[in-house]
A and B are shown apart, each in its own frame.
Chain A
Amino acid sequence: MNNIVTVNQVTKTYGGQNEKTYQALKGISFDVQKGEFVGIMGASGSGKTTLLNILSTLDTASSGQVTIDNQEITQLKGNELADFRAKEIGFIFQDFNLLENLTARENIALPLSLQNVPASKINPAVAKIAQRLAITEILDNYPTQISGGQKQRVAAARALVSEPAILFGDEPTGALDSKSARDLLETMDDLNKNDQVSILLVTHDPFSASYCQRILFIKDGVISTQLQRGNQDRPTFYQEILTTLGTFEQ
């Protein structure tokens, strides 16, 4: 089996017993293979963040199964959940989510500290990932002292330092200017191609999506279409995404 993520008939209903309920996911199924770079697109309110929150164990599904790296995550509880988050997955958010009272280095080291990795192993690991993401220079700066693009790289470094099975991103380029966004995407592309990092990227933006190998379109809580990049070059794929979005919107 080469699937890193398998999602099977997942539903999510918001609202409790005495409240108005809303079904955001209506039995969604798909999978991501090891080393794949998959994008998820869809209109606002279509359930992208909901899906990602379930995959990253921040929220629970109402029904269905999710398997990540051969572990059924809907069964995990308490400490298992926390440890799973610390070891198996990495994520980057639109708003960076760095701790502003820690330096970049300390931010990156945090997941390792949480796993009680000895200090002697933490420093080399941080140095290695920092070099990979070209942020060695700013490691001892605080988040307020670095640019948005750099912040997102630090966030990516933190997500990757524990060598997770998969990297999730929810609009990671959303708060970046186009130059920084392009840099980040190229880095992700590079990590995917050369380090075999599996990536699942949620985005609105067709340009960001064009870096993916496969794109899933969500509509009304299920996958409605998907697009394979195949051997196309990026600009051509970008055009195809735009066309699909055009027809999709109708």
Chain B
Amino acid sequence: MLIKLALNGIKSRWKDYLVLFSGLVIASAIFYMFEALATNQNFIKQNTTISAAVIIFQLGSILLAIITLVYILYANSFLMTMRQRTYATYMMLGAKSGKIGQLIFMETLIIGVVATLIGIVVGTGLAYGVGTLLMQRMGGAIHSFQPLYPLAVFITLAFFMVLFLIAAIINRRQLLKQPILKLLHSSNTPTAIKHRPVVWLIEAIVGVLLLATGYWAMVHLGVLGLVLALVTIVLGSYFVFNALAIWVLSLLRNAKLASKGLNKFTIAQLTFRIHDYTRLLSMVSILFALALGAITVGMGYYNQIPLMADNAPDAYDAVVYNPTQAELRTINDLHVKSRSQYTFKTTSGAVYWNRSEFDKDPLLMVDPERSGLGDVTYVKADVAKMANPDTNEYLRLRDILLPDMRQRDSKVVTAAEFNRVGGPSYQVTALKVQNFRNDLPTIKALFNSQAKRFPQIKQDDGSYKYAFYTQLNGLFSGLEFMGFFLGIAFLAMLASCLMFKILSGAANDVQRYRMLRKVGARQKLLHQAIRREVGVLFLLPGILGVIHVLFGLRMFQAIMVQPYYKIWIPFSIFLVLYALYYLITTYLYRNIVLRK
């Protein structure tokens, strides 16, 4: 009988259950997706030479586990706000408390197990999708990635079982230990927040100072600074939300604008919420920073690859020897910026160049003095120096020879002398293109065709930009891949935490919104109030998180030359995803509070 009642209860609120259930599925899917990567030692070892990656992933796992724990607790409290009144009513009517305890225990556990199983399936799909997408982007530089990884399945299952067991025990206790009356009337009346401007001011100043200390330490103190920063930034975020945000809201509340429409109501709601959510908001802002930071650094490395390739001593994007008709056609497909042609002849001990060709069209080389990553200056080689083995010019000229000829003496001679030299003659076409990455497939084709005709190219292929680029790509794509995975997983979790926290408070707002409607608030105004309220709750930790990242990235200046290069790309991706969560939350929240 009771089970039938319980099922009936679920049926009547299936929409809320759908929200809860899909939330849990997403959580386990994300967790699984991450574990599929983190537990795959082969993958990590093969895709990055950086030994720290394994540690980064283990740390990431632990962090993700902690967020998941928090997340499950929020989702669980959402479940309880849905159920406790019903169960309390049964108890009031005389249902045995043991039986009710059993019911809620089973309900929690069953929901959990089913959601986890579906989540693993979804997670495998997700891992496959994200994996394929990234692999395409990185041109096959990723190896050994397995979307369905048994160890990850096991860990995910075990971890979630434990979590739901804990949740089930908590729910059972809450239902049995609390007085029935409290369960029945548990809609929490917001406690009025005491007006303490002086305390707020002090807390706000302390908060900002703590943040500043953290930012400073990150940039100037290295690893020790990171530990210090973690502590001060967490505390600083907390104070900023607890004091600064509430203080600003209390100022706004007395502003003229506040008496317009539902502004006062929204401010009151926010004041209460931020007070109640301080810890969550600070956590979200930190996680936001970690997630965004992971994506930004990952992408930063990826963006850095062509810059690093550009910074190689060799100035040319492709060097072609004695091009065939087919190779000439391939060259025509390139978006060529400059094209130079030189001729050399070889004898057993020496290589001869025609000086007049260099006079007409000087050899380009990277000026090591005035070049850095992302900021390369090219200079024209001084022909007079090209014959002197002690100069950079000599070395760069040697670089456009076939590798097996580089040991020979290079001589730059006049046209007349050149014509007198015997021995096989070679044509070198040295090319620069407009955008190396855009022309990559064509350059690759050209390189492969050349390597087939001149096998000796393989002896020192690092001196050709394409091969050098490929090596770098292999090294750093793994990092980008991991950054993305970490970032997306963190983002999904933190945004879901925020979402469920907001949604589990929504039941208490139903009455308030109903009342506003009775007093004559237009539907549009109610929607606007909801958008603003949820919006601010998303925006505040987002803004603070972005500030954390902007400062945090300075830490990477030691190992990345331009951590801020093209920063808008990861930021936009991230913000779009975050905004998506905001829209979903608003939609769900509105459906709850404005339900007829």
Contact = CB atoms under 8 A, between A and B. Distances in A.
Interface of A: 56, 58, 78-79, 82-87, 91, 97-102, 106, 109-114, 116, 119, 122, 142, 144-145, 158
Given A56-B518, A144-B189, 9 more contacts: A83-B520, A99-B265, A101-B265, A101-B272, A102-B265, A114-B520, A114-B522, A116-B260, A158-B519
B523 A79 contact: yes
Contacts of A145: 192
Interface string B216-253: 00000000000000000000000000000000000000
B84 to A, nearest CB: 21
B522 A82 contact: yes
Nearest to B520: A86
B515 A119 contact: no
Q: Is the interface of A mostly helix, strand, loop or mixed?
A: helix
5 contacts: A111-B519, A112-B259, A113-B260, A114-B522, A119-B256
Contact of B265 (A79, A110, A112): A110
A102 B520 contact: no
A82 B190 contact: no
Interface string B519-545: 111111100000000000000000000
B61 interface: no
B264 A106 contact: yes
Interface in B110-162: none
Contacts of B272: 101
Contacts of B97: none
Given A113-B262, A116-B261, A82 B520 contact: yes
Given A58-B518, A79-B522, A101 B268 contact: yes
B429 interface: no
Interface in B264-308: 264-265, 268-269, 271-272
B268 A113 contact: no
Nearest to B524: A79
Interface string B485-523: 000000000000000000000000000100111111111
B356 interface: no
Contact of B521 (A78, A86, A142): A86
Contacts of B520: 82-87, 111, 114
B264 to A, nearest CB: 5
B39 interface: no
Contacts of A83: 520, 522
B48 interface: no
Contacts, number: 79
B263 interface: yes
Interface in B414-455: none
B269, B271, B520 — most chain A CB neighbours (10 Å) = B520
Interface of B: 189-190, 192, 256, 259-265, 268-269, 271-272, 512, 515-525
Contact of A113 (B190, B261, B269, B271): B261
A151 to B, nearest CB: 13
Contact of B268 (A91, A106, A111): A106
A230 B426 CA distance: 123
A114 B262 contact: yes
A102 B264 contact: yes
Nearest to A119: B259
Contacts of A111: 519-520
Contacts of A102: 264-265, 268
B259 A109 contact: yes
Contacts of B521: 82, 86, 114
Contacts of B525: 82, 114
A189 B516 CA distance: 27
B418 to A, nearest CB: 89
Contacts of B515: 97-99
B192 to A, nearest CB: 4
A110 B523 contact: no
Contact of A82 (B189, B265, B523): B523
Contacts of B189: 100, 144
Nearest to B269: A101
Nearest to B271: A101
B168 to A, nearest CB: 33
B523 A113 contact: no
A122 B259 contact: yes
B38 to A, nearest CB: 44
Given A97-B515, A99-B265, A78 B260 contact: no
A99 B523 contact: no
Contact of B518 (A97, A100, A144): A97
A85 B523 contact: no
A97 B520 CA distance: 13
A59 to B, nearest CB: 11
A110 B392 CA distance: 79
Contacts of B265: 99, 101-102, 110
Contacts of B524: 79
Most chain-A Cβ atoms within 10 A of its Cβ — which of B269, B271, B518?
A: B518
Contacts of A87: 520
Given A82-B522, A85-B519, A101-B272, A142 B262 contact: no
Contact of A142 (B192, B260, B523): B192
Contacts of A58: 518
B263 A113 contact: yes
A75 to B, nearest CB: 17
Pairs A-B, 8 closest by C-beta atoms: A86-B520, A85-B520, A82-B522, A101-B268, A119-B259, A142-B192, A101-B190, A119-B256
With a 10 A CB-CB cut-off, give which of A85, A100, A113 has the most chain B CB atoms: A113
A114 B268 contact: no
Contacts of A113: 259-264
